[in-house]
Structure 1
Amino acid sequence: MKLIHTADWHLGQSFHGQERHAEHRAFLAWLLDNLLERQADALLVAGDLFDVVNPSLRAQELLYDFIVAAHERLPSLDIVLIAGNHDSGNRIELPAPLMRRLRTHALGRVNWLDDGTLDTERLLVPLTDAEGETRAWCLALPFLRPAEVTGSALGSCDDAGDIPPSDTPRNGYVAGISRVHRQLIKAARERREPGQALVAMSHAHLHGASVSEASERPIVIGGEESISAALFPPEIAYVALGHLHRAQQVGESRIRYSGSPLPLDFSEVAYPHQVVEVILEGEALVDTTAIPVPRPVAMHRIGPAPLDEALAALEALQDDPALPRERWPWLEVRVELDAPIPDLRARVEAALKDKALRLLRLERRLPKGEDGASPARVDLETLGPRRLFELTWASRWGEPPGDEVLADFDTLRQEVLDADDSDASARDARP
């Protein structure tokens, strides 16, 4: 059986104010061609399909057009989608009855039965081969929000047989995440028949995994929500992970982040992006192969460098005027200055005159102060909500916020995001 593992599409992303529909459309066309060429049996998308909980109509069209096209070209292909922390779980599941007719399973939330146990039935998705025989089971776990996995209702539901816990939980949220994983693995173990593989899919942060410099939103409480790879016993043939944008394995080759197919920030320019081909034989993993994703739009990152060097580098950049504007490369320029230069942007833009390049970000780096810190110019987008909160707190109280305060802030922020999700779903449900 052959699977393709991908994640973190972030359809509809606004990149420093610019839309990226052309890039996403090109990636999805490439992915469809590869599914057909490799005759894949299943496609696993491990969360963050969209960039925001209330995506634009164009972003939604990209997803649904892809699903329809994939079913037309590969009628036996199974597609499994899970919601990530950027997604609205309700929105992902809204068209689920229609998508099932296209062999697409969309999981956005976990549900709990009246006795407090996890509704595992809906999270176990059969994966079939070209003859329609079930060859594997996908344990499809969408992003787990605190409200879904914490509370007294779940307190006694931890009967997971001989599956070891990940470690001593650092908080109730991590304990809840671990409990859900163990219950689902226990149910899958009981459901499968001899010769059928188990494939886990989760949108989570594992201990020891490498994060990107600036592009990943902390799931809930900074890295304190991370879980252990020990949650996945050896009988899980493959673990398809989403959330971290850097492609990587965690401890073992069977436990992998596919990474995002496109760089989502200039900090991600330097490493390759990919999807993963997974080959299963019976219950075992046979092979994994990284398939590099061609970059539809190039990205250039200049500096940090003194102004003269930065301008020379800009002059040396190669461009292709024949490209349509939506395919012009993105550009970030970081300039080290001895003193402020009021016309810096004008000088940079002059160096780019008549070049088929799009300047998205210009960062000024001034000399370091007495404390050794560089007063680099920043904006709200660069800071992000968490850093802005830290600076505001320090300004008000004369010292940085402690770990408990930051944990409270991150939890509150997630509650606001979840409220946006619920509000969007309520609007969608109105006649």
Structure 2
Amino acid sequence: MRLLHTSDWHLGQTLHNFDRSYEHQCFLDWLVETIVAEQADVLLVAGDVFDNANPSAQSQRQLYRFLQQARERAPWLQVVVIAGNHDSPGRLEAPAPLLQAHGATVVGHVVRGEDGEIDLARLLVPLANRAGQVQAWCLAIPFLRPGDVPRVEGESEGDPYLQGVALLYRQAIELARARCAGGQAIVAMGHCHMVDGQSSLDSERRIVIGGTEALPATMFGASVAYAALGHLHLAQRVGLQEHLRYCGSPLPLSFSEVNYQHQVLRIDLDGSAVREVTPIRVPRAVELLRVPPAPAPLAEVLAALEALELPELPAHAQPYLEVRVLLDGPEPGLRAQIEAAIAGKPVRLAKIEPTRKVATAAPLDDAMTLDQLAQLKPDDIFRRLYRQRYGEEAPAGQLAAFTELMLAGATEAA
């Protein structure tokens, strides 16, 4: 049996206010072609299908159109989708009865019975081959919030949330083992942060309030043939184990991923074990540019921007640009100078990343008495802070701008 593992689509995400529906559609079209070319039996989508809990109608149409096209092109395909921390469990599950008719199983949240016990059987999805024979059991466990996990009875050390998550996985694995016949594999899905998982800078949201959110790889146990994980946007092995994997996001979600090659994973099962895990690179529909590659003085940056030579592309396919500038101090006209340097070029200015040189702060003034502090005016405080931060007196333009801001605030308050 052949599986494809993907996650963290974040349909509806914008990059510094630029719409990315074109890029998402390019990925989904590519994924349909890949499913057919690879003759995949199962597609695993490990959470964060949407970028927020209230996705746009366009984003939802993209998902449903993809499922429809995948079913038409690969009638044998089985799809299993779990909710991530960005998704609304109820919204994701709402069309589940219709999606099941098209070979898709969606698990958005944990359900409890009248006795308060978690319905573990609902989290267990049989994976069948094209002849209808069950070849594997999939633990489709969505992102777990603290109220979703069982309580660990008795006094024990450690975080109760982490212990509850581990217990839930253990109980689900035990149920899967009880249902497994000879030669059937157990495949786990989860949307979580594993211990030592490498995060992508600027593009991931902490998923549990507080610091205790990382889960140990040991919670999967030796009976799990493969764990298809979501949440971390960089593809990686968990604990250097081949069968415990994050596939990563298919699109770069921030400029920190400019040089990263995104992928989906192909998993070939041989009976109850994994024979091979193969990355399949996702083509990038829109490029990300960082000019210059490292922060540089403004004059060098403007020269590099003016020298940019790019192919003509329609607006929705033009590359995104991050400009990295090394400044000696505030530069009020920075954006205008950058926009002038790229005027007429087929590129979209997404971000200006200023880095200021660290100046040796001027010696602190002598300590002031309470009476002296009371006599300070706002512009005196501004001057003192500027002098401490940059080691020089505030320019006249900065002082004028500060005064204008203070006057505007006073007028509004009145």
Mean Cα deviation higher: 25-34 or 119-128: 119-128
- CA contact 1:337–1:367 (8 Å) conserved in 2: yes
Partners of 2:276 and 2:211 in 1: CA distance: 30
Alpha-carbon separation, structure 1, partners of 2:194 and 2:57: 33
Does 2:201 align with 1:210? Answer: no
Shift of 1:149: 1.8
Tell me which of 328, 334, 341 is aligned to 2:324: 334
State the superposition RMSD in angstroms.
1.8
| Pair 1:182 & 2:155 matched | no
Report how far residue 224 of structure 1 moved: 1.6
- Map 1:104-183 to 2 at 5 A: 104-149=104-149, 154-156=151-153, 170-183=158-171
Q: Name the SS of the counterpart of 2:66 in structure 1.
A: helix
> Is 1:76 paired with 2:76?
yes
Higher alpha-carbon Rg: 2
- Contact kept, 8 Å, 1:214 with 1:267, in 2: the verdict is yes
Conserved 8 A contact 2:323-2:352: yes
Q: Are residues 1:271 and 2:264 paired?
A: no
Q: Which amino acid aligns with 2:168?
A: V
Q: State the Cα distance separating 1:312 from its structure 2 match.
A: 3.0
Q: Which string of whole-angstrom CA distances, capped at 9 and with x for unpartnered residues, describes residues 283-314 of structure 1? A: 01000000010000000122322112222332
Partner residue of 1:248? 236
1:223, CA displacement in angstroms?
Answer: 4.8
CA distance in 2, matches of 1:201, 1:210: 19
Q: Compute the displacement of 1:318 (Å).
A: 3.4
Partner-residue secondary structure (3-state), 1:209:
coil
SS across alignment from 1:290: strand
Q: Secondary structure at the match of 2:214?
A: coil
Task: State how far apart, in whole Å, the 2-side matches of 1:311 and 1:249 are.
Answer: 41
Per-residue CA deviations over 1:167-208 (Å, capped at 9, x if unaligned) read x86322112211111111111111111111110000000001
Q: How far apart, in 1, do the equivalents of 2:187 and 2:28 lie?
A: 23
SS of 1:138 mapped into structure 2: strand
The one-character-per-residue Cα deviations of 1:94-126 (angstroms, maximum 9, x if unpaired) are 000110000100000011234443211111111
After superposition, the C-alpha distances for 1:383-410 in whole angstroms (9 at most, x for unaligned) are xxxxxxxxxxxxxxxxxxxxxxxxxxxx
1:339 and 1:367 in contact (8 A); partners too: yes
Q: What are the ranges of 5 or more consecutive residues in structure 1 without an aligned counterpart?
A: 158-167, 373-431
Measured in 2, the distance between the counterparts of 1:100 and 1:244 equals 28
Structure 1 equivalent of residue 31 of structure 2: 31
Query: What TM-score results when the alignment is normalised by the length of structure 2?
Result: 0.83
Overall identity of the aligned pairs, in %: 50
| Residues 315-326 of structure 1 mapped to structure 2, 5 A cutoff | 315-321=306-312, 323-326=313-316
Q: How many residues matched?
A: 359
Q: How does 1:378-389 map to 2 (within 5 A)?
A: none
8 Å contact kept, 1:90–1:108: yes
1:353 aligns with 2:343: yes
Cα deviation code 1:204-225 (max 9, x no counterpart): 0000110111110000135521
In the TM superposition, what whole-angstrom CA distance separates every residue of 1:39-84 from its partner, at most 9, and x where no partner exists? 1000000000000000000000000000011111111100000000
- Measured in 1, the distance between the counterparts of 2:224 and 2:147 equals 27
Structure-1-length-normalised TM-score: 0.80
Residues 134-169 of structure 1: CA deviation (Å, up to 9, x unaligned)? 11111000000112226xxx3449xxxxxxxxxx86
Q: State the one-letter code of the partner of 2:163.
A: A
Deviates more, 1:305-314 or 1:35-44: 305-314
Q: 1:284 aligns with which of 262, 273, 287?
A: 273
Residues 152 and 167, structure 2, Cα contact 8 Å, conserved in 1: no
Report the 3-state secondary structure (helix = DSSP H, G, I; strand = E; otherwise coil) of the residue aligned with 1:236.
Answer: coil
Tell me which of 213, 223, 226 is aligned to 1:238.
226
Could you say if the C-alpha distance between residues 273 and 222 of structure 1 is closer, same or farther in structure 2, counting changes exceeding 3 Å? farther
Establish whether residue 260 from structure 1 lines up as the match of residue 249 from structure 2.
yes
Partner of 1:228: 216
Contact 1:118 1:183 in 2 (8 A): no
Structure 1 distance, partners of 2:272, 2:133, is: 14
Structure 2 unaligned residues grouped into runs of 5+: 363-414
